């Protein structure tokens, strides 16, 4: 049986008394005419004296966040989705019965107010209450005003309380959909079509990641929650849609930290007749459009750095970046034995399935280069072995036409000149299967339906994937992915 604190018991008694007054303690619909911030903005420039001749009224609703009771007149503030506004309430204006109802109010209660717009002697825009409506009795007290939810884990678990108490959390919550809408408008204006593809799948394709497994009872079939969006979207290129994108949830059965959540939002886009260069141009312009149109600035504090999104952004090959940091030139022809020796000399551990020159190049990059890429950088020229869905570089088939966007040492996007050769693609899938047999549980399955789709002919194309949550971290200037997700995955309470 639940146990209540003394304050919770008092609130429940007050709810019962509200019932005795013939009112519903949990309210009904209420029609308001204005929001707090709109009122404050509209009237902030009007002098206190001018309000004596004004009769402007407004109807507002919100949660009580502050009360200063003073006998027959009081001040309190309510907070709606736009912010707080002060209310002046007097027994002379609303009558004894309504004022008695108000005096039983607690912080956290939700009320409706009809009143006259005024300004106090201190210059604060205020509503003089003419009609007070109780809407909802809060049965639990809010956290202490100046401390709020100090336990960070509890902030994420009880996001609803965090949003009540923490204006920064609410700012990010409202900013995220604005950024998503900006991305959609930008992509639509570039001629792309937004589509939806299946979340449930029977194959692991499109990325290197461990899956979540579920079960379809009717078909008695194990299925995966998708780890990427790629192959269904490329099938649409085959079908002639030519420019498609999807913003959707994907699921990877991996660890949780400040940059990773097991379910996250990914955007992938594919453009027929484009290539790596086209994806770079699309990306740089999209980030700058968000910065300009939504945020109104080009410089952001992120990861301990001031990030400048003004172009042009740096473009560098993986081998050149490694050479710059270590002096080793992996662009030169090299045997696996020579690469393994270099890894040994540099104390880089190489797993069994990574014993190829390409994998070792990537291990050098991760150790020596990744964290040094602070300002926006397109890193291109990845080894063939770590890019199973990418077109080979025509000048050097050891590498592929792929880039990753790095900002503040973190990956923000992954792009390709898409592989559209069905014979080559099947060979890549078979190589992935060999890696899986060597212990790589993130390797791709063979998708024969996709091979068949490619055999009908997919136009040359550029493709890209963006981690939307990490993009939000940059624009909202947050250091943890949990601060840009309303409901991050959390461990069970111990």
pLDDT tens-digit profile of 148-203? 556 788 889 999 999 999 999 999 999 999 999 999 999 999 999 999 999 999 98
Whether 195 maps to a domain, the answer reads: yes
Domain enclosing residue 70, as ranges: 6-142
Whether 491 maps to a domain, the answer reads: no
Helix, strand or coil for residue 265?
Answer: strand
Cα distance between residue 436 and residue 454, in whole Å: 24
Task: Profile the chain (494 residues) by mean pLDDT over runs of 10 residues.
Answer: 93 96 96 98 92 94 95 96 98 96 96 97 96 98 68 87 94 98 98 97 84 95 95 97 98 89 97 95 98 98 97 96 96 95 96 94 97 98 86 91 96 93 90 78 82 97 96 97 94 77
Please measure the distance between the N-terminal and C-terminal CA atoms of the chain and give it in whole angstroms.
Answer: 20
Q: Which residue has the tokens 């980030």?
A: 287
What was the pLDDT predicted at 53? 87
Query: pTM for the complete prediction?
Result: 0.91
Whether 77 maps to a domain, the answer reads: yes
Residues 6+ apart with CB under 8 A from 56: 43, 116, 117
DSSP string, 134-193: EEE--SSPPPPTTT----HHHHHHTHHHHHHH-HHHHHHHHHHHHHHHHHHHHHHHTT-E
Domain of 11, CATH number, reads 2.40.50.140
Whether 337 maps to a domain, the answer reads: no
What was the pLDDT predicted at 479? 93
Tally of domains within the chain: 2
What was the pLDDT predicted at 434? 82
Cα distance between residue 163 and residue 474, in whole Å: 20
What was the pLDDT predicted at 146? 45
Q: Are residues 302 and 440 in the same domain?
A: yes
Q: Are residues 35 and 75 in the same domain?
A: yes
DSSP H or E segment with residue 80: strand 73-80
- pLDDT mean across residues, the chain: 94
Q: Are residues 249 and 126 in the same domain?
A: no
Identify the domain boundary among 127, 142, 157: 142
> Are residues 406 and 419 in contact, defined by beta-carbon separation less than 8 angstroms?
no
Whether 380 maps to a domain, the answer reads: yes
Cα–Cα distances in Å, from 188 out to 18, 182, 203, 229, 491? 52, 10, 30, 18, 38
Residues 6+ apart with CB under 8 A from 468: 180, 183, 247, 264, 265, 266, 267
Q: Calculate the dihedral angle through the C-alpha atoms of 59, 60, 65, 71, rounding to the nearest 10 degrees.
A: 10
Domain of 409, CATH number, reads 3.30.930.10
Q: Are residues 128 and 193 in the same domain?
A: no
> Are residues 234 and 197 in contact, defined by beta-carbon separation less than 8 angstroms?
no
Burial zone of 44 (CB within 10 Å; 0-12 exposed, 13-18 middle, 19+ buried): exposed
What was the pLDDT predicted at 494? 66
Q: Are residues 290 and 383 in the same domain?
A: yes
What are the respective helix, strand and coil percentages of the chain, to the nearest 5?
A: 35, 30, 35
Whether 209 maps to a domain, the answer reads: yes
Report the DSSP pairing between strands 299-302 and 110-119: unpaired
Q: Are residues 91 and 189 in the same domain?
A: no
Q: Are residues 416 and 471 in the same domain?
A: yes
Joined tokens for residue 86? 């002060």
Q: Are residues 135 and 277 in the same domain?
A: no
Beta bridge partners of 382: 400
Q: 167-189 and 276-290 are packed helices; what angle lies between their axes, rounded to 10 degrees?
A: 140
Whether 267 maps to a domain, the answer reads: yes
What was the pLDDT predicted at 154? 84
Q: Are residues 135 and 273 in the same domain?
A: no
Q: Are residues 171 and 111 in the same domain?
A: no
- If one counts every other C-beta atom within 10 angstroms of the C-beta of residue 420, the result is 18
Closest by CA position to 464, among listed 370, 384, 410, 401: 401
pLDDT more than 90, % of the chain: 84
Burial zone of 277 (CB within 10 Å; 0-12 exposed, 13-18 middle, 19+ buried): middle
pLDDT tens-digit profile of 378-437? 999 999 988 877 888 999 999 999 999 999 999 999 999 998 999 999 988 888 788 777
Q: Are residues 29 and 96 in the same domain?
A: yes
Q: Are residues 108 and 15 in the same domain?
A: yes
Whether 248 maps to a domain, the answer reads: yes
What was the pLDDT predicted at 491? 85
């Amino acid at each position: 049986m639940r146990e209540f604190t003394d304050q919770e018991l008092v609130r429940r008694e007050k709810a019962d008394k509200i019932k005795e007054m013939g009112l519903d303690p949990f309210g009904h619909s209420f029609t308001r005419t204005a929001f707090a911030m709109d009122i404050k903005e509209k009237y902030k420039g009007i002098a206190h004296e001018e309000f004596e001749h004004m009769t402007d009224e407004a109807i507002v609703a919100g949660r009580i966040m502050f009360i200063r009771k003073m006998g027959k007149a009081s001040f309190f503030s309510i907070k709606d989705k736009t912010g707080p506004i002060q209310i002046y309430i007097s027994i002379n204006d609303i009558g004894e019965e309504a004022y008695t109802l108000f005096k039983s109010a607690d912080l956290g209660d939700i009320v409706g107010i009809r009143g006259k717009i005024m300004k106090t002697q201190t210059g604060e825009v205020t509503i003089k209450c003419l009609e007070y409506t109780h809407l909802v009795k809060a049965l639990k007290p809010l956290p202490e005003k100046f401390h709020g939810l100090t336990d960070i884990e509890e902030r994420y678990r009880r996001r609803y309380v965090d949003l009540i108490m923490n204006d920064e959390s609410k700012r990010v919550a409202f900013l995220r959909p604005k950024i998503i809408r900006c991305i959609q408008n930008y992509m639509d204006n570039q001629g792309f079509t937004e589509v939806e593809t299946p979340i449930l799948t029977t194959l692991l394709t499109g990325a290197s990641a461990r899956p979540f497994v579920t079960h379809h009872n009717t078909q008695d079939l194990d299925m995966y929650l998708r780890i990427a969006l790629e192959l269904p979207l490329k099938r649409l290129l085959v079908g002639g849609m030519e420019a498609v994108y999807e913003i959707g949830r994907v699921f990877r059965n991996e660890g949780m930290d400040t940059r990773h959540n097991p379910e996250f939002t990914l955007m992938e886009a594919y453009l027929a007749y484009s290539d790596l260069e086209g994806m770079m141009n699309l990306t740089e312009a999209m980030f700058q459009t968000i910065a300009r149109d939504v945020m109104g600035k080009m410089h952001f504090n992120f990861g301990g750095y001031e990030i400048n999104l003004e172009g042009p952004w740096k473009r560098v090959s993986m081998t050149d970046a490694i050479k710059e940091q270590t002096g080793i030139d992996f662009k030169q022809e090299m045997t696996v034995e020579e690469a393994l020796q270099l890894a040994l000399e540099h104390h880089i551990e190489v797993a069994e399935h990574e014993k190829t020159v390409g994998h070792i190049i990537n291990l050098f990059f991760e150790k020596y280069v990744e964290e040094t890429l602070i300002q926006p950088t397109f890193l291109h020229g990845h080894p063939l072995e770590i890019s199973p869905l990418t077109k080979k570089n025509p000048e050097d088939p050891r590498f592929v036409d792929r880039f990753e966007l790095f900002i503040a040492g973190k990956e923000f996007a992954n792009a390709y000149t898409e592989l559209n050769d069905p014979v080559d693609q099947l060979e890549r899938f078979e190589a992935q299967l060999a890696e899986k047999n060597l212990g790589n549980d993130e390797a791709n399955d063979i998708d024969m339906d996709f091979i068949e789709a490619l055999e009908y002919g997919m136009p040359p194309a550029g493709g890209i994937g963006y981690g939307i949550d990490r993009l939000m971290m940059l624009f909202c200037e947050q250091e943890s992915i949990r601060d840009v997700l309303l409901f991050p995955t959390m461990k069970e309470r111990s």
